[in-house]
Structures are given as structure tokens and as C-alpha cells.
Structure 1
Amino acid sequence: ARLASQTGSDLVDKAVEVGGVRVLAEQVDAADAKALRNTLDQLKNKLGSGVIVLAGVDGEKVRIVAGVTSDLTDRVRAGDMVNRVAERVGGRGGGRADFAQAGGNDPSRLGDALGAVSGWVGEALGETAGN
């Protein structure tokens, strides 16, 4: 829990704004699903409103979690975000509108996948805004 809290504080500063929504997509040291979920929860609390995608690598396995705060789930879905990242790293996943998780087996493509999250959020916001 302490690691999640410290990591969460450092990561909040890396959030970018896309269409008025704070977006954070980062690789973290936490390789197990529980640590990723804990860190995600901490970040959702600290951001207040936003979209978060976190990934950890354990050998050749990639674990991914995505979270969307409740005020944004009608515009951006965590399941959509996690699946887009997972597809890029040779995996798949799913979940609810506010939380989803996935796995993959190609860590070499993780940086590119996480880098694309802001664009995907922008697309999701643009589609719902009618642009």
C-alpha cells in the first residue's frame, strides 16, 4: 500500500490533459495485478477525474489495468482503453466501464501502446461530442 501511495503521488504529475480530461498512461514497477489495482485506485483518488492506464511487465508477460472515474464513464470506457493497449502487446482483456484489466505477451510494444492512449481518449471524447 505504501508503494502504491508513493508511486501514485509521483505519477499524478505525469497526467496530460486531453479535451479537458486528465489522462495518465504509464508503465510502473508493480508487476502483479493486485499492486497495479492498488496503484490505480490511489491515482483515481488523487486525480479526482480522469482516465488512467497502468502496465507492468513480468518477464515476457504484460499486465494492464485501466480505470475511468465515474464522472467520465459515459464518454470513455475502461474496457475499450485496456483492450486497445492489450491488442498492441499481443493480448486481450475486458471489464467494466470504470475498471478493466488485460494481459499480453509482447512487452517490446508496450511503450508505443501506452503512448497511443491519449489519442484514443481524444477519439472517444470527439465521438461523443459529435466532432
Structure 2
Amino acid sequence: MPVHKHITSYNEAIESGALAFFGDKYDHEVRTVEISNGSKFSYELCGGTHCNYTGDIGSFYIISESSIASGVRRIEAVTGVNAEKLATNHLSILNSLSSSLNVPISEIKNKINDITNEIEKLNKNYNKLENKIHSENILDIEKTSIKIGNSTLVSSVLDVPNQELLRQTGDQIKNNIKSGAICLGSNIEGKATLIIMVTKDLTNKINAKELIQSISPIINGGGGGREELAQAGGKNPEKLTEAIKTFEKIVKNILSTN
């Protein structure tokens, strides 16, 4: 469509219907830009458009849109040669995806949806298997527990991927034993992690925080916490078994003499 440009006063331009987007930044004399082909398509004060026809602009692709103030949106776009480069780049990406997924471009979206659904199914199956293994590990750990009077002493070095799972294992064992003390350790990403839990009825005799502070130097680390729960990290995972054996010795001595 043709672009008509006129020089007029600011007031006359506004009165004739021109839109002004830059507030008080205009001078008394302004340049209006009207895009029309029989009827007005756009009529506003010049904001930097210097072309005779809309076709001079060429392709126009919006690349982003955002809010810059209340009721004001910013549109960022490319035109002309830059728009053609963008389109070519996007087509190249689509062709690459089409080749990698072994489907035509029109089927890329459906293929990705299928892959996403399959990954979700695999994750669910993985979580089920992980929970099953986790439950079996807890049963094995509890079989090696030591009974001292009415209390249970549970300790073990586990192969778990993260501190969260180590903590979950301790919580479940704590719920199962009702009364006792627990010390679990694991080599997580090359670092030693220890966690100690004590049931509430024994906190007058056994303090988890004091215990973790006693044994954490063994793994070349330190820790802290509360009387019922404490945790430590260290640089020497090879000493986890020694630290747990020290825990067992201390707790056995406390429970045997009380």
C-alpha cells in the first residue's frame, strides 16, 4: 500500500485523527505518515518510518513482545534482509529437526509430543522401580538393626543419589522402629554425607546434634542440627564406615548404662 507523508502542525495532525505515541517529544511542526489504499489503514505521527510503500519494508517478523509499563507493550521485530535471514535460520532448524526425528516438518510437533509422552511413562516406571528398591533397602537395613532394651539401633552406609533420599530413608526407619537412634551415611557425588535421627523419647539421653559433631571429624567434615535430627558433610567418604561404627559404640554405651 502507498505511504503518504505530510508536514503539518502538531495540533492539526491530532485533530485530523493522527495517533501520537511519543507524548510531549514532538515539535510544533510534525511529519505525519498515512498508510492507505482507499481507506486509512494507519495514520500516525512519524516515529521513524521512511518508505514510500509498505512493500519497501519487505517481510516483517515479530521476534518478541513484552510489557514495558502499565497498558504499554513493546514489540520487537525484524524486516527486510534481516527477516529473510531469520526465516532461513528457522527453516534450517526445522530441516535439522526433521532429519533427526526422521519425520517431515509437518509432523515434528506430533513427534515431539509422542517423545514427551514416552519420557513421562518411563519416568513413572523409573519412580515405581526406585520406590520398590528403596522399600527393599529399608527392610534389609532393619534386619541388621541392634536391639538394646526397648530401643533399636540402626546404622548403615547406603548407595543413594542424593541427600533427600537419604533423609527419606531415615524418616521411614524412624517411623518403623518407634524408639531408637539411626545413623545413615552415603557417598554422594564424591562427598561423605551423614545423617543422625533420634526418636523423641530418647532425646533426654541421646542428642543427635552432639553425636554428629563427635563423629563428623572422622569424615573430615562438620555438621549440626537439632537434638532429634542432625546432618554432616565431609571430604572423606572412605571413612563413612568408621564414623558409623563410632556412632554405634557411643549409642550402645549410652543405652547400656541407662
> Kindly tell me: are residues 111 and 85 of structure 1, through their superposed partners in 2, closer, same or farther at Cα, counting changes over 3 Å?
same
Match of 1:113 in 2: 243
Of 138, 162, 184, the match for 1:8: 138
Q: How far does the alpha carbon of each residue in 1:84-114 deviate from its partner, in whole angstroms, 9 at most, with x for none?
A: 2311100110111111111011112111111
SS of 2:159's partner is coil
Q: Report the Cα distance in structure 1 between the residues aligned to 2:227 and 2:244, rounded to whole angstroms.
A: 19
Work out whether residues 19 and 122 of structure 1, in 8 Å CA contact, stay in contact via their aligned partners in 2. Answer: no
Q: Report the Cα distance in structure 2 between the residues aligned to 1:19 and 1:121, rounded to whole angstroms.
A: 12
Of 124, 129, 151, the match for 1:21: 151
Higher Cα radius of gyration = 2
Q: How many residues align?
A: 128
Which ranges of structure 1 fall in alignment gaps of 5 or more residues? none
Match of 2:216 in 1: 86
Q: Report the Cα distance in structure 2 between the residues aligned to 1:105 and 1:124, rounded to whole angstroms.
A: 28
Point out the more displaced range, 12-21 or 38-47.
12-21
Q: Report the Cα distance in structure 2 between the residues aligned to 1:4 and 1:82, rounded to whole angstroms.
A: 24
> Kindly tell me: are residues 5 and 47 of structure 1, through their superposed partners in 2, closer, same or farther at Cα, counting changes over 3 Å?
same
Work out whether residues 5 and 42 of structure 1, in 8 Å CA contact, stay in contact via their aligned partners in 2. Answer: no
Q: Structure 1 segments of 4 or more deviating over 6 A?
A: none
SS of 2:155's partner is strand
Of 207, 213, 229, the match for 1:99: 229
Q: TM-score, normalised by structure 2?
A: 0.46
> Kindly tell me: are residues 64 and 71 of structure 1, through their superposed partners in 2, closer, same or farther at Cα, counting changes over 3 Å?
same
Structure 1 residues 22-101: aligned runs within 5 Å: 22-101=152-231
> Kindly tell me: are residues 124 and 31 of structure 1, through their superposed partners in 2, closer, same or farther at Cα, counting changes over 3 Å?
farther
Q: How far does the alpha carbon of each residue in 1:33-66 deviate from its partner, in whole angstroms, 9 at most, with x for none?
A: 1011100001001111110000110243011111
Q: Which has the higher contact order (CA 8 A, sep 6+)?
A: 1
Deviation at 1:19, TM superposition (A): 5.6
Q: Report the Cα distance in structure 1 between the residues aligned to 2:215 and 2:150, rounded to whole angstroms.
A: 22
Work out whether residues 18 and 121 of structure 1, in 8 Å CA contact, stay in contact via their aligned partners in 2. Answer: no
Which ranges of structure 2 fall in alignment gaps of 5 or more residues? 1-129
Taking only the aligned residue pairs, the percentage that are identical comes to 29
Q: How far does the alpha carbon of each residue in 1:64-87 deviate from its partner, in whole angstroms, 9 at most, with x for none?
A: 111001111111011122222311
> Kindly tell me: are residues 6 and 107 of structure 1, through their superposed partners in 2, closer, same or farther at Cα, counting changes over 3 Å?
same
Q: TM-score, normalised by structure 1?
A: 0.86
What is the alpha-carbon root mean square deviation over aligned residues? Answer: 1.9
Deviation at 1:20, TM superposition (A): 4.7
Q: Report the Cα distance in structure 1 between the residues aligned to 2:194 and 2:171, rounded to whole angstroms.
A: 14
